[in-house]
Amino acid sequence: MVIKKSKAPTVAVEGETAINDKNEKIGSWDHKQQENLEQALAHIPFEELQKARADGSHVIRLKTAYMQPEKPGRANKNRPMEMSSKVRVGRYKEVIQAPKRVVRDPRFESLCGNLDTERFRNKYSFLYEVELPAEKAKLQKLIKKSKDPNIIEDLKNHISWIDKQLKSSSTKNIESEILSEHIKKEKEAAKHGKHPYYLKKSVIRERKLIKKYNELKASGKLDSFIEKKRKKNASKDHRFMPYRKSSDDVQR
């Protein structure tokens, strides 16, 4: 009877070689890990190492040191650099490219043309002639009906704002009328070969006073206006006048 020798199981041998390779890899990885640890600890002062050993924070620091991602590099100079395709999406990324909003101020835009003050004054004169006076009368009625002091104060402030608007519009209208009259005269003078003359602010102010004087005289309100101005100027002068010292002050 011939007994055949059975071959040694190759599976076991292959398993042993795989385990040995794995152990070698682990050993090499441990060796690299130890080298990295030595390099990291070489730059840390001795006092910090002692503190880390005392409170146990060295474990966390070493873990974070090993968890740092490796910088991308080339395996060979002839190969391209390998990088991860997982790129973090930006927080403020615009998915839909919407048109950019552009704010335009018509006062400074050449597309809107130049401002024609005379045309603007004629077109929106109803605001100062009809709308604002009607609103002022309405607010005055509300003041009489209301009993809340806060509401009354707000209404009075709004009425004062309306008065300022009406006053400024009247002064602007007078200035524009003076300038338009002057421009007409200068155009006629230019036809006869004369040089144009531009009004100064002081001349415009003087002509405004003359025009206002003529209007007050025609309406019969000149005397009351002059009396009001006199009282106002007297109150201003009264502040700067020296007071007569009393007998007590003289004795002191």
Residue range 179-199, pLDDT digits in tens: 888 888 888 888 888 887 788
What per-residue confidence (pLDDT) applies to 1?
Answer: 45
CA 117/CA 172 separation, integer angstroms: 10
Report the chain's mean pLDDT, rounded to a whole number: 75
Among 21-25, 78-82, 109-113, 172-176, where is mean pLDDT lowest?
Answer: 21-25
- Quick check: 197 and 186 in contact, CB under 8 A? yes
pLDDT-derived band at 12, boundaries 50, 70, 90: very low
Please determine, for residue 120, whether its predicted confidence score (pLDDT) is greater than 80: yes
What per-residue confidence (pLDDT) applies to 212?
Answer: 83
Tens-place pLDDT, residues 85-100? 887 877 776 667 778 8
Neighbouring C-beta atoms of residue 178, cutoff 10 Å? 19
pLDDT-derived band at 4, boundaries 50, 70, 90: very low
CA 16/CA 69 separation, integer angstroms: 33
pLDDT-derived band at 217, boundaries 50, 70, 90: confident
Please determine, for residue 23, whether its predicted confidence score (pLDDT) is greater than 60: no
What per-residue confidence (pLDDT) applies to 137?
Answer: 93
Average pLDDT on 150-163 reads 93
Torsion of CA 122, 127, 129, 135, to 10 degrees: 180
What per-residue confidence (pLDDT) applies to 14?
Answer: 43
Please determine, for residue 133, whether its predicted confidence score (pLDDT) is greater than 80: yes
Average pLDDT on 47-54 reads 70
The percentage of residues in the chain with a pLDDT greater than 90, rounded to a whole number, is 11
Pick the residue with more confidence: 60 or 178?
Answer: 178
What per-residue confidence (pLDDT) applies to 11?
Answer: 40
- Quick check: 199 and 179 in contact, CB under 8 A? yes
Of 145, 170, 173, 143, the closest CA to residue 158 belongs to: 143
What per-residue confidence (pLDDT) applies to 30?
Answer: 58
CA 196/CA 183 separation, integer angstroms: 9
